[in-house]
Chain A
Amino acid sequence: MSRRRISALVGHEVRLLTRDPLPIMILVVFPLLLMSFLKPTFALALTAHGYPGANGAEQVVPGEAVVNGFYIVGMTSFAFFAEYGWNTWDRLRASKATSPEVILGKALPLLVVSIAQFLIILTLGVPLFQLHSRGPFLALAPLVVAFATCLVMLGVMITALCRTIQQVSAVAMGGLVLFGALGGALVPIEVIPRWARAIAPVTPTYWIMRGFRSVILDGHGLTAVALPCCVLLGMSLVFAAVALRRFRFSDAKVSF
């Protein structure tokens, strides 16, 4: 692996992202808009489930950050598919860059975007929605990094498995809603049916929400997020392994 080539690819991906900043802006603006009218509902739900002092921000701020954070999955995959649409994929393949370098060069900037999205939303959640955490905010950092890694790896895996951009779009949007609901990000996990709660741990959203809640609502620290972080990183490894196994750079894919 060449650091120079990876940095050339990272710089290139950053330029592509900044030339079309709307998707990144939506990553932050959308959840903030949703939080403003969902917060009162979640205040009632949390109060009813044993958190009498909760104002709703404890669920809605991390929950909406997680749900909307899922857009990174689609954005990661689109970053690859766009190359097919622009006929530049073969140019990258014919360059000195190796396959792992291309994947890293594309994934790293999106990982940073994903982490930044969480940091911005959680930070703005404090003054805008009176988000208070009983545990240390710093304990959320490893969770965010592990979840962002998991999302980006999921995006790479979807790229490896899907043949068309329509498939990517359907899988990414379906995953967003399904994982968001199952994992307790769209609504508090207590309100979903018992059978759904039983299968929730297969979703990455379950683990990050579990970590968020144990710090924000239950007042735990770094030790409480260790297991969710490990599971999320484990999922990332599985996604990466599938991606490595199935990603064929020579595959023909259909973009827009």
Chain B
Amino acid sequence: MQSGVGMLDVQQCSKAYGPHQALDAVDLEVGAGEITALLGRNGAGKTTLVSIVAGLRHADAGRVLIGGIDASTDPSRARANLGLAPQETGVYPTLSCRDNLRVFAGLAGLGRREMRVAIDELAESLGLTDLLERRAKELSGGERRRLHTAIALVGHPSLVLLDEPTVGADIQTRAQLLRVVRDLARDGAAVVYSTHYFPEVAELEASVVILERGHVCARGSIDEVIAEHSVGAVELVFEGPAPDLERLAPAGAITTSGQRVLIRTNDPSSTTAAVLAGLDNYAVNLRGLTVSQPSLETAFLQLTEEPATNTIGATAYVA
């Protein structure tokens, strides 16, 4: 790798499927030892981006540099040390786990001894040691998912692309996979991690890139994305028409709709206290209270044009 260059540098990458623009001038930079979480709704362009980086699809425009090498002019050298776990589980069902790993270790250029060590180490970290001689078709869904990810990692790649690796995985499998991904980054690999599970992003301490309809609509650390794109909310539900609470919050922060009042705020706790104190006689009509803290999820929902719902707020119902 050339010094001073990110392990992965995607520049102005665009891709269309007929009239559908899957990616539009997307930039993405991931350094060695860094984990970048790709977030986005289904169809936002995450898999297309991963596929272009992996060389499975060609971009209509833009460049992909891997370790400073242009993947369009020298694809085999650029992708010589890349590990991919596609979205769909891809394993050889009639082969043992060891044989599944062996073929990709061989293709990555590992010698016989190196291969044995790599397979044993990886199996141990992913809880596959006792399953190595078992055929993949005899594994449970979670075990198969671990094998699927292990295949991507067996060649000691310096760039790892994991496309929703924890889909359908149980809690133990998810914990093992996340630990392995963290270890990978600690050992210097650059990781692109596409997911729909927001707690995983925090657990991985990943930087965030949010894609929406083929555009990058936010990027940065989790805190930066929250600070820039998320506001909290306090929602009150009354019996009968909602009172006028304009005096309790800045102008424009309140939306009243029938029995409901929604107050957008960066400090939901203080706002809640102020509102409850200011309700006066209307307090007896209060039937529900929902508090949503600013979070990655609310930032995501706001960026991807979903209405600001209160999915993760603490809700209190007043009898």
Residues of A participating in the B interface, judged by any CB pair closer than 8 Å: 2, 4-5, 7-9, 11-12, 15-16, 19-20, 86-98, 250
Additional A-B contacts beyond A4-B109, A12-B106, A16-B92 (8; CB < 8 A): A5-B107, A8-B103, A15-B95, A86-B90, A86-B93, A90-B90, A95-B107, A96-B76
Q: B residues within 8 A CB of A16?
A: 92, 94-95
Q: B residues within 8 A CB of A89?
A: 90
Q: A residues within 8 A CB of B104?
A: 91, 95
Quick check: is B288 within 8 A (CB to CB) of the other chain? no
Which residues of chain B from 62 to 113 have any CB-CB distance to chain A below 8 Å in the complex?
76, 79-80, 82, 84, 86, 88-95, 99, 102-104, 106-109
Say whether, besides A88-B91, A90-B56, A4 and B106 are in contact (CB < 8 Å).
yes
- B79 A87 Cβ-Cβ under 8 A: no
B256-289: contact bitstring with A at CB < 8 Å (1 yes, 0 no)? 0000000000000000000000000000000000
- A11 B56 Cβ-Cβ under 8 A: no
Say whether, besides A8-B103, A90-B86, A96 and B108 are in contact (CB < 8 Å).
yes
Q: Which residue of A lies closest to B135 (CB)?
A: A19
- B57 A250 Cβ-Cβ under 8 A: yes
Quick check: is B210 within 8 A (CB to CB) of the other chain? no
Quick check: is B206 within 8 A (CB to CB) of the other chain? no
Interchain nearest-CB distance for A18 vs B (Å): 10
Classify the interface of chain A: helix, strand, loop or mixed.
helix
Q: Which residue of A lies closest to B86 (CB)?
A: A90
User: Cα distance A82–B109 when bound, in Å?
Assistant: 24
What are the nearest 10 A-B pairs in CB distance? A8-B106, A87-B90, A12-B103, A94-B84, A95-B107, A87-B88, A19-B94, A94-B54, A88-B90, A91-B90
Residues of B participating in the A interface, judged by any CB pair closer than 8 Å: 51, 54-58, 76, 79-80, 82, 84, 86, 88-95, 99, 102-104, 106-109, 135, 151
- B94 A96 Cβ-Cβ under 8 A: no
Pairs A–B under 8 Å by Cβ, sample size 27? A2-B109, A4-B109, A5-B107, A5-B109, A7-B106, A8-B106, A86-B90, A87-B90, A88-B92, A89-B90, A90-B54, A90-B86, A90-B90, A91-B86, A91-B104, A91-B151, A92-B107, A93-B55, A94-B54, A94-B79, A94-B86, A95-B107, A96-B80, A96-B108, A97-B107, A98-B76, A250-B57
Q: B residues within 8 A CB of A86?
A: 90-93
User: Cα distance A98–B151 when bound, in Å?
Assistant: 18
User: Cα distance A61–B89 when bound, in Å?
Assistant: 45
User: Cα distance A12–B55 when bound, in Å?
Assistant: 23
Q: B residues within 8 A CB of A97?
A: 107
Name A94's contact: one of B55, B58, B89 (CB within 8 Å): B55
Q: B residues within 8 A CB of A12?
A: 99, 102-103, 106
User: Cα distance A9–B51 when bound, in Å?
Assistant: 23
User: Cα distance A165–B93 when bound, in Å?
Assistant: 18
User: Cα distance A26–B104 when bound, in Å?
Assistant: 30
Name A91's contact: one of B84, B95, B109 (CB within 8 Å): B84
User: Cα distance A92–B55 when bound, in Å?
Assistant: 11
Interchain nearest-CB distance for A254 vs B (Å): 14
User: Cα distance A20–B99 when bound, in Å?
Assistant: 14
Interchain nearest-CB distance for B79 vs A (Å): 7
Q: A residues within 8 A CB of B58?
A: 250
- A9 B90 Cβ-Cβ under 8 A: no
User: Cα distance A131–B275 when bound, in Å?
Assistant: 101
Q: A residues within 8 A CB of B108?
A: 95-96
User: Cα distance A7–B115 when bound, in Å?
Assistant: 14
User: Cα distance A19–B109 when bound, in Å?
Assistant: 24
User: Cα distance A158–B86 when bound, in Å?
Assistant: 27
Q: Which residue of A lies closest to B80 (CB)?
A: A96
Q: B residues within 8 A CB of A20?
A: 94
Q: Which residue of A lies closest to B104 (CB)?
A: A95
Interchain nearest-CB distance for A108 vs B (Å): 15
Q: B residues within 8 A CB of A15?
A: 95, 99
User: Cα distance A56–B84 when bound, in Å?
Assistant: 57
Q: Which residue of A lies closest to B106 (CB)?
A: A8
**Most central of B54, B93, B103, B106 by chain A CB within 10 Å:** B103
Q: B residues within 8 A CB of A7?
A: 106
Interchain nearest-CB distance for A252 vs B (Å): 11
User: Cα distance A16–B58 when bound, in Å?
Assistant: 31
User: Cα distance A218–B228 when bound, in Å?
Assistant: 88
User: Cα distance A93–B88 when bound, in Å?
Assistant: 15
Interchain nearest-CB distance for A98 vs B (Å): 7
User: Cα distance A95–B153 when bound, in Å?
Assistant: 11
**Most central of A7, A90, A98 by chain B CB within 10 Å:** A90
